[in-house]
Each structure stands twice: as structure tokens, then as C-alpha cells.
Structure 1
Amino acid sequence: MHLIIAEKHNVAKRIAQILAGTKPKVKRVHGVETFHFDEKVVMGLSGHIVGVDYPPGYNNWQKVDYRDLIHAQVVTKPTQAKIVSALKDLGADADRITIATDYDREGELIGVEALRIAEEANPKIEADRVRFSAITKGEILDAFESPGEVDFNLASSGEARQVVDLIWGAALTRFISITSGRLGKGFLSVGRVQSPTLALIVDREKEIEAFKPQPYWEIYADLEKDLRVKHEKGRIWDGDLARSIFENLGDEATVLSIKEKTRTDRPPAPFDTTSFISAASGIGFSASNAMRIAEWLYTSGFISYPRTENTVYPPTLDLRDLVSAFKKGPFREDAERVLKGPMVPTRGKRFSTDHPPIYPTAPATKKDMKPDQWKIYELVVRRFFATLSEPSRWIVMNVQLDIGGEPFRAMGARQIEAGWRASYPYSKAAEQILPDLSQGEKLSVLGKEIMDKETQPPSRYGQGRLVKLMDELGLGTKSTRHEIISKLYARAYVQGNPMKPTNTAYAVIEALERHSPTITKPDMTRTLEEEMTKIAERKIGEEKVIEESRSMLDAVFDDLLQHQGEIETTLREGLRTDKIVGDCPSCGNELIIRRGRRGSRFIGCAGYPECTKTLPLPKFGMIIVTDKICSDHGMYHIRIINKGKRPWDLGCPQCNFDQWQAKKAEEAKKKAEIDALAKIPGIGPKTLEKLETAGVRTALDLAEASAEELAEKTGLKINKISSWQLLAKSVAEEPSGC
């Protein structure tokens, strides 16, 4: 029997359908769905089915020394018991196993994990590996026709990263959490890649806070022919000079020169993971959501593998044939336009042989997917067309003018050939059409304006921009950067997009930068990433890299333990600040997020026990105090983050509580009215059902209804209804008296 291992269930199903040429038989093995045909069995994993961890004795945070975690033996443990059992049973009966997991470092490790489990049950099993970049019929059949060998070195580099990240994350997270007193579900996490990434965000916020705006002035004039011109100097830093120029401007402008030139706007390079995330961010997708959707599109056969560092299409990819597949459907016009051109693909700076750039592999319509999936799919399709299109061409005009001896100018741009921009509307370039002008022409000045402005601070990092910066600095990999950003949100280190660090993030990074800056700089992480790449290239052994990382971490703890008291002070102050919601309306003290003896959470006054002001909070989720303030109560708005769910903006705690109280009062009133209706003599359960069917649920409903219409709808006698209505009117006015 030939056993084929895919990384996920839906990929296994597609591979089985392609190889079988028909619908394969489905059998459950230990509860795992597997696909059978022609003496072959295809089964899907669920990503990693084993994980790295410490032995059980190291789980006690209070009793295990930090350095013991650094040098402890790391073990592997099954994380998917049913899949492991199924793999053992199938592996025992197989004479050949083919690894068909994703072709990258992580996928190779997942495949090797499965192979090791199968070999436990059958040491003589023969193994090979297939590699593909798209789950299409052609790619899958070609891959299985020429399988290769399993790359154990590539898997070892992935395993080394797992071990290194576990050691660094466990030791540093425990130190920071215990030192700060922040334990339980709200512990503070520190990581080899996470912390230098967070430091980038915090350092940028410090730049923004330290920024001192400089005033400057700009002068504009409005001329006839609907022409607006700007003073040649642009920003004028001297206010007196700006006002002098403005006041002495004449009433007539003279066109001194008109220069025109053609500008070529080259098409963009093909998508690699980083540029894809950046583009998806530009249309409103978070990094993690963009990658999640891209993964779905890949496993569904609509796009190629989305984790790639390649920006050069391989010569084996038949671009013309692929574009021709889109001649029917929503991209018909774009496909026909591209096919009419020379179709010379653009090339980015990165080239690798593992996977091609991200491109569409099959045509689709909006009916084939959800709206968000379609937006990402359309982005990939249009980027692909853009890379095969001709340049966009523009006529650029530069007009120099004189107004009372002062130089002014106007810039214009007119598109003469849309080129790639016809297919790719996401990269905007607006036309600026100037009127017909001639050299020496005189134009009347119809108005003038002086604008006083200030220089602006550097902007915060959006997710797309941060992923690009992480890539440039060597922080993380194409497969993990979006996950790192998600973790920063989940740990309440950042909020919003662009990202603003919380006070907790400030405290953690300030403590680390002051006493152990190695953790917050990209150098160490980049060095380890380079070492892990050398493992894949067979230039260094896995154990050597792990031992080097342990030595680095030992040096880090020399600094941390020496300054533990100062770090504790910094952390606790930052954590306290992040819990302040506002000022107490009763006594003026701070309102702070607190935890009760039984674990409940609430907002309480710092003046307790003299002041007992409290407000309730939800039982579950990470609580984040945002920087938005309620105009009515002066309290900061609160956001609740639950793993795997959309953030819940609770808003102002006082407003939320008042609305809850009002809702309770309304429900109580409604219940009283319903109870009152049931207490009217002669109205029993069956009559209540009939009245409710007719839309009558309360005494007020009965009192205001038409007796004739009720009689017709319910079949009840009109004289009874009329007598009930008299009682209902008095009850509705005073429901508590019935």
C-alpha cells in the first residue's frame, strides 16, 4: 500500500481526487478521514502533529530556575493523538510513504514528523517527497511523476527554530511575568522575534512623542483659466518673509516657461509574501487575515503557494496559457488586453527556486467564494495581469510663472497610456490637468492664499509597513511575521492599526532596552536566522546552533538577574498605568481595573474602602484600556480581546453600565406587563396563546388593540375582549397593582 501524507485535510482530499481521476473512497481511521483508491491512501495532517516542550517537572513557574530552562532537555510530544494513531496504523501496512506537505522549512519538518511516526510502526517503509507550488491537476500530476528525496537538513533547520524559540520564549517570559507579578492568563510574553518587533513600535512612538513641530508657510495664487499655482520655494520657514511676499504679490501672472516630458511608470514586480501582505493591508486586511485567506485560496486551487520570497516567474510557467484561461469570466477584458501586448513579465530583486511568486492558478467568479476571499483573489489576479502589462505613460508638465517678481509654478500630469494601471487600480496616481497655456501669456490673479502649517511627526507603523520592515531587518520569516503581529495584539501590547503601543509594552521594552538591549535589537535574531539557514544548506549542525543560542541567552540573564529589582519597578509602574480607566465621579480618585478574591474582574475606586464606586467587567477576554475618552464621563473606552474572535469594543464602562441598567429596567417593565395580562380574570393559558398570535403580549397591547380585529383574528367573543380591555387599561397604567 502507498501512503501519501498531506499537510491538511482539504489538501489531502484534493490530491486524492486529482490522482484518482474520480471520487475516492472515504474511510475513517481512528476518527480521521482518509481517501482510498488504487492501493493508495491519502491522509491529511493538521499542521504539526508533535510539538517541542519541556518534561513535566519544568512546568512549575515558581520552583524552576530560569537557567534550568535554558539548559534543560527539550522533548517532543504528540499534539494530535487521533492523527498519530491513524498514521501508525496506516504506516504499519504501507510499503511506501510519500510526503506531500507544503514545500518550505515548516512543511518539511511537518512531513518529517509524520515520517518518523510511520517509521516507528514500520522501520522498513520507503520514503520519498513530492514538491509543488499549486494544487492544480497539472502541478500535482507532474510532482507525483517525479518524486525526490526528503530534505532532512531543511527539516532540521525548522526543528532548530522550534527549540530555540521555546527556550528563549519560556525563560524570558517566566522572568518578566514573575518579576512583574503578572501571572495566569494575563502573563507577559517575551520572544526572540516578538520583542525586537515590539521595540520597533515603541521606539517609533517615542519619536512621535519627542517630535517638536516646526511652523512653515505656503503661498498659493488662483489665476484665470482655473489655474492654481504655488510659490516656488514651497515651504517658507520665515513667517515675516512669507507675509512680505504675500502682501506684495501683484495682480497679474506671466508664464515664463512650459516644459513637457514623457514619464514612464513601470509595472510592479510579482507578489512575494511581504509585498502581498503590504498590498492587502492597503485594501483593509490585517496581516494575519490576509494570510489566512491566501492559504484558503491556495488549498482550494485558486492561487499558488502564498509563502514565498521569489519575485521572478519561472520559465516553466506558461504565462500566455494561464492568462488565456481568464478570457471567460469577470476578468475577460483585462485578460484580452494583456494578451494583445508583448507580455514581458517584470522581475523583482528576489529570486529563489523553491516557489514562484504568488499568482492565480484558476479562474473563478464571485459565486465561488465569500466577499473577503474574492477581494484577496481579485488582488492577486490583478497584480498578475499588471506584471505582464506594458508600462503606464504620462505627459508631465512643469509651468514656471512670475507674479510681481516672485517665482511660482504649476505641475500637471496627464495619462496617455494606461498600461498596467488599467488592470491594477490599487496603486493610485491621479491626473492633474492644466489648461492650455503659452509662453509669455498674461493671466489675471483672481485670489491668493497664505497657509500656515506645521511639520508632522513620523507616522505609526501599519501592519503592511511593519511586515516590510521586519523583512528588511531579518526579523522572523515569510511564514511567521504575520503571526508575530497577531501575538502583539493578543498580548495587549498594541492596539489599533496603525499600531500604538500600550503602557505595558512601554514598560516591557524600556526595562529590556535599559538592562538587556540584546533582546530588543534585530541583530541577535538575524544572526540566529542566518545560522538556521546554514543548517538547511548543510553548513552547520542543528545542535551547534541550539547550543550557541543557549550561550547567548545565558549572557542575557547575566544582565537581567543583576538588575531584577529595577526591572520590577519599571514593569509594575507600567502595568498599573495600563489599568487606569479614569477619575472616580464620586471622590476624584483613580478608577482602576481590579480582580476580586474569586477571580471576578471589575473597575474599582483607588479610594476604597472610603469610596465604594464600582463598575462591572466581562468575565472573559483580555482587557485593553484604549486612548479614546468618553465625552460624558471622562473615562477611557475599553476593548475586550478573546482569542479567535473579533475584538469587542465595550466603550465607556459607565455608558455601558447605564445602558445595561436601562435594558434591565425595560425588561422588568415588560415582564410586569406580561404578568399583568395573565392576571386579568378570564384570561387563561390558551387565551394568552391566541392573543400572542394576534400580536398581544402585554396589558397595554390589549388596551390599545381594536376589539373587532382581535375577535376576527382569535375567534374570541367581542364582548369578552371589550370587558378585558377595560381591566387592561387600568392594569397598563399601574401594572404593579394587578
Structure 2
Amino acid sequence: GHISYPRTSSQQLPSTINYKEILQALSKLSKYKKLAEELLVEEKLVPKQGKKRDPAHPAIYPTTELPKELPRTHKKIFDLVCRRFMSVFAKPAVRETIRITICVDEYKFVTSGRRTIEKNWYKFYGPYAKFEEHILPKLEKDAKINVLEVELLEKETSPPDRYSPASIIKKLEQLNLGTKATRAEIVQTLFKRSYIEGRSIKVTKLGEGVVETLEKNCPSILSERLTKEFDEKMEAIREGKLKKEEVIEEAKAVLTKIMRNFRKKETEMGKELAKALKEAERVRSRLGVCPNCGSHLKVVYSRKTRKRFCGCEGYPKCTVSFPLPQFGDIIPLNRECNECELPMITVRAKGRRPFNMCVNHKCPSKASWGKKKSSANP
């Protein structure tokens, strides 16, 4: 392979790895030639070791087997691994921080600036080393400055950002839930089961229903402490600190107790989950607001043809309807068309590029749809 075993959170490179040989191999690639040669002139190569250890695997590093051609995404990952590897042998970067206090009558205003004096390892890490450069003008102590303008700003505290797939995996790692090999798979499963959605992750109605049902009837299944405890014990087995048989017997006893309670409330939980699923499907099918009666427009399937269309929840009092594509998934964009102010949707189909459209088949934005572009004769 072009890199070492990737499923590790280790930040340490053992001395058994031939650092020089790897750098010599990287110097054959024009992209890394100058950087690798700069390190190879050093008498001794000593990597900066991180805190995280993995008894089974070292930190990820490039091997001497260089790739000839890689897909775009693979190329980016390989570049990150190579630059990270080289940067740990470089000198520390030198940064300067300046703090200025400006006194206006009895009020004090503070500002700070930061700049890089010597790049050192930043240079090796390339585009992955992103640090703010906020350069302030040169000032002397006790210097007088002119106040050009006074602006009074009124602000409110903002809620924390939603999790992204990457940040939620990082949070799982901080909480010590799951393993480095399973965390990404856990998040992917939540997406596949429609418990969560979006790049800026939102919990779906189905996800809310599942959690509420389990919290009410079988809270032990949601126990963060229990999950963390068994993850730690599995790690201890791998390190030889605990015996596998003892942990398995303990797990059997705990899980048997949980399952007994689960089965007692199985019917009741099933009804609650079915209700949550129905509500989730109802919300998911909604596309926007009806222009006629103000009710919800939703995806409806014809009983006769089984074809789908956009119809009003107020039917039969409101008969507003619009045709929909008969392929792919219909996803509401929760915004209106700039042309006709009707709901916008995204259509996603396997093997096709996703596209956005207005539900209104007579919308001016679709005037050119289905028309071939004419070209001038030579």
C-alpha cells in the first residue's frame, strides 16, 4: 500500500520506521522534492510525537511504494499523509502575538494581532496549516491616536453550530464512544436509517421518535455510560489487562436484563415507533405551502396509476396539484422559487446529477426546458 494501516488514532511514529528511506522515496515526487531534501540534510531525524498511542498500530505514514496515478479524493488524502509526515520532523513555527489596550477617557478597548515570524513546519504542512494572520500597525507605548468613529453594536449570543459528520465523529472520540474503526460506520448507519439528515446535521422526526420511545420504555439502551464502559473493557482486553471471558460473562448478564425489560414493553414500543414512523413520513412528504389555501403541499400517489404528484393536504376542499418527476427522491429545499414563489425541490436519482426545480410546471424558469439549443451553420 501507499500508506500504513489507516484505522488508528495514534500520533506516534516508532523508531523502527526508516524515516530516511521514506523521505528519499518522497523526494522522487516533484511535489515533495524540495521539502524532503531539506529534511534529509539533517544529521538526525526526530519526529514530534503526539499524546495519543495505539499499541497495535503507529501513526499513519507514507510507505516507500509511491503511487503512479490516484483518483482525486485519494490524491488529497495521500497528500495530507505525506505533508503531515514531513511536518513532524520540521522545526517549531514562530508566532508573534501583540495585545494593545486603547484608553478613551475611563474606558479601555482591547485588540490583539497575530503574525507568523518563521513558518518552519507550516511550510511542510502546506494548505492544511491554516492560521489567522491579523497584522496590526506599529505603535509606541503611550502613543496618542485619533478616534475616527464610535459605533455602538448590539449583539446576542449565538447558539452552537450543528454537528457535521466530521465534528460528530470527533465528539464521539472525545466521549470515548465507539472505536476508531466503528465511529464513522455508526454515523453512516444513522444517515441510512433516516434518523439524521443533512451536512449540518438535523435529527429527523423518526430519529426523535426512536429516542423518545427508548427513553420512556428502555433507557438503559441509550446509556452513554454503559456503552463507554464496555468500549473501555474491550480496549483493556486488547491490551491484555482484562480477560475476554470475564467481560463476555458480564456483558451477557447486563444485556439479558435489558432484553427482559425490552420484551415486556415490546408491543407498546412497537405502537409508539409505528406512530413516529407515520409522522416522519408525513413531514418528509411535505414540500411547502399551498398558494391557494395556505395548507401544506405534499407528495401524493395516485390510487389508479400509482404515479406521484404534488397535491394539497386540504383536498377535497382544495384541488391544487402539480406534476412531479417519476424518478429519484424528492427532497424539499424549504424555500420558494424566485420566479413564481412556489416551493423548490431537489430531485436525486442514482446515476444522475441532482437538480433543483420548482414544483410549478408552468413556471417561467422552465421556459427553456426540453428545447434544443440551436447552433449557427458554419
How does the TM-score come out when normalised to structure 2? 0.82
What is the CA distance between 1:466 and its match in structure 2?
0.8
Partner of 1:553: 259
Partner of 1:487: 189
Partner of 1:444: 146
What is the CA distance between 1:640 and its match in structure 2?
3.1
CA 453–362 in structure 1, closer or farther in 2 if over 3 Å, else same: farther
2:73 alignment partner AA:
D
Partner of 1:327: 27
Partner of 1:310: 10
Q: Distance in 1 between matches of 2:352 and 2:186?
A: 18
Q: Distance in 2 between matches of 1:514 and 1:646?
A: 42
What is the CA distance between 1:376 and its match in structure 2?
1.5
Q: Distance in 2 between matches of 1:637 and 1:402?
A: 54
Q: Within 5 Å, which residues of 2 pair with 1:525-536? A: 525-530=227-232, 532-533=234-235
Higher relative contact order (CA 8 A, sep 6+): 1
**Is 1:582 paired with 2:285?**
no
Length, aligned pairs only:
369
Q: Distance in 2 between matches of 1:490 and 1:641?
A: 16
What is the CA distance between 1:566 and its match in structure 2?
4.7
3-state SS of paired residue (1:409): strand
**Is 1:606 paired with 2:308?**
no
Q: Distance in 1 between matches of 2:214 and 2:302?
A: 31
How does the TM-score come out when normalised to structure 1? 0.45
- Deviation digits for residues 501-550 of structure 1, max 9, x if unmatched? 33333333333334433333433433443455566557133974457534
- Deviation digits for residues 356-379 of structure 1, max 9, x if unmatched? 1111113757x6223322222111
Partner of 2:222: 520
Q: Distance in 2 between matches of 1:368 and 1:618?
A: 39
Q: Distance in 2 between matches of 1:638 and 1:514?
A: 36
Partner of 2:205: 503
What is the CA distance between 1:450 and its match in structure 2?
2.5
- Deviation digits for residues 52-84 of structure 1, max 9, x if unmatched? xxxxxxxxxxxxxxxxxxxxxxxxxxxxxxxxx
Q: Distance in 2 between matches of 1:550 and 1:626?
A: 45
Partner of 2:111: 410
Q: Does the 8 Å CA contact 1:528/1:549 hold for their aligned counterparts?
A: no
Q: Does the 8 Å CA contact 1:304/1:358 hold for their aligned counterparts?
A: yes
Q: Distance in 2 between matches of 1:302 and 1:656?
A: 54
Q: Does the 8 Å CA contact 2:298/2:312 hold for their aligned counterparts?
A: yes
Q: Does the 8 Å CA contact 1:492/1:624 hold for their aligned counterparts?
A: no
Q: Does the 8 Å CA contact 1:603/1:615 hold for their aligned counterparts?
A: yes
Q: Does the 8 Å CA contact 1:633/1:654 hold for their aligned counterparts?
A: no
CA 549–629 in structure 1, closer or farther in 2 if over 3 Å, else same: farther
Q: Does the 8 Å CA contact 1:474/1:522 hold for their aligned counterparts?
A: no
3-state SS of paired residue (2:142): coil
Q: Distance in 1 between matches of 2:355 and 2:94?
A: 46
3-state SS of paired residue (1:468): helix
What is the CA distance between 1:559 and its match in structure 2?
4.3
Q: Distance in 2 between matches of 1:394 and 1:417?
A: 7
Q: Within 5 Å, which residues of 2 pair with 1:184-195? A: none
Q: Distance in 2 between matches of 1:618 and 1:524?
A: 47
Q: Does the 8 Å CA contact 1:593/1:604 hold for their aligned counterparts?
A: yes
Q: Distance in 2 between matches of 1:533 and 1:350?
A: 14
Give the unaligned 5+ runs of structure 1.
1-300, 671-694, 696-700, 710-738
What is the CA distance between 1:617 and its match in structure 2?
4.1
Q: Does the 8 Å CA contact 2:169/2:184 hold for their aligned counterparts?
A: yes
Partner of 2:244: 540
What is the CA distance between 1:495 and its match in structure 2?
3.1
Give the unaligned 5+ runs of structure 2.
none
Q: Distance in 2 between matches of 1:519 and 1:601?
A: 39
Partner of 1:362: 64
- Deviation digits for residues 433-482 of structure 1, max 9, x if unmatched? 33332222222223333322221111011222111111233433222322
Q: Distance in 2 between matches of 1:339 and 1:535?
A: 41
Q: Does the 8 Å CA contact 1:507/1:575 hold for their aligned counterparts?
A: no
CA 596–611 in structure 1, closer or farther in 2 if over 3 Å, else same: same
Partner of 1:627: 334
CA 525–572 in structure 1, closer or farther in 2 if over 3 Å, else same: same
CA 378–327 in structure 1, closer or farther in 2 if over 3 Å, else same: same
CA-based RMSD of the aligned residues comes to: 3.5
Q: Distance in 2 between matches of 1:656 and 1:326?
A: 59
1:539 alignment partner AA:
K
What is the CA distance between 1:317 and its match in structure 2?
0.5
Partner of 1:681: none
3-state SS of paired residue (1:441): coil
Partner of 2:278: 572
Q: Does the 8 Å CA contact 1:492/1:622 hold for their aligned counterparts?
A: no
Query: Which of 360, 363, 369 pairs up with 1:663?
Result: 369
**Is 1:383 paired with 2:77?**
no
CA 600–331 in structure 1, closer or farther in 2 if over 3 Å, else same: same
**Is 1:338 paired with 2:12?**
no
CA 555–646 in structure 1, closer or farther in 2 if over 3 Å, else same: farther
Query: Which of 336, 345, 349 pairs up with 1:637?
Result: 345
Give the number of the structure whose alpha-carbon radius of gyration is greater: 1
Which of the two has greater helix per residue?
A: 1
Q: Distance in 2 between matches of 1:577 and 1:562?
A: 23
**Is 1:593 paired with 2:299?**
yes
- Deviation digits for residues 606-634 of structure 1, max 9, x if unmatched? 23345444334455555443434434334
Greater mean alpha carbon deviation, residues 531-540 or residues 520-529: 531-540
Partner of 1:395: 96
Q: Distance in 2 between matches of 1:498 and 1:581?
A: 20
**Is 1:419 paired with 2:123?**
no
1:582 alignment partner AA:
G
CA 605–443 in structure 1, closer or farther in 2 if over 3 Å, else same: closer
Q: Distance in 1 between matches of 2:291 and 2:130?
A: 49
Q: Does the 8 Å CA contact 2:12/2:58 hold for their aligned counterparts?
A: yes
Q: Does the 8 Å CA contact 2:221/2:258 hold for their aligned counterparts?
A: no
CA 546–312 in structure 1, closer or farther in 2 if over 3 Å, else same: same
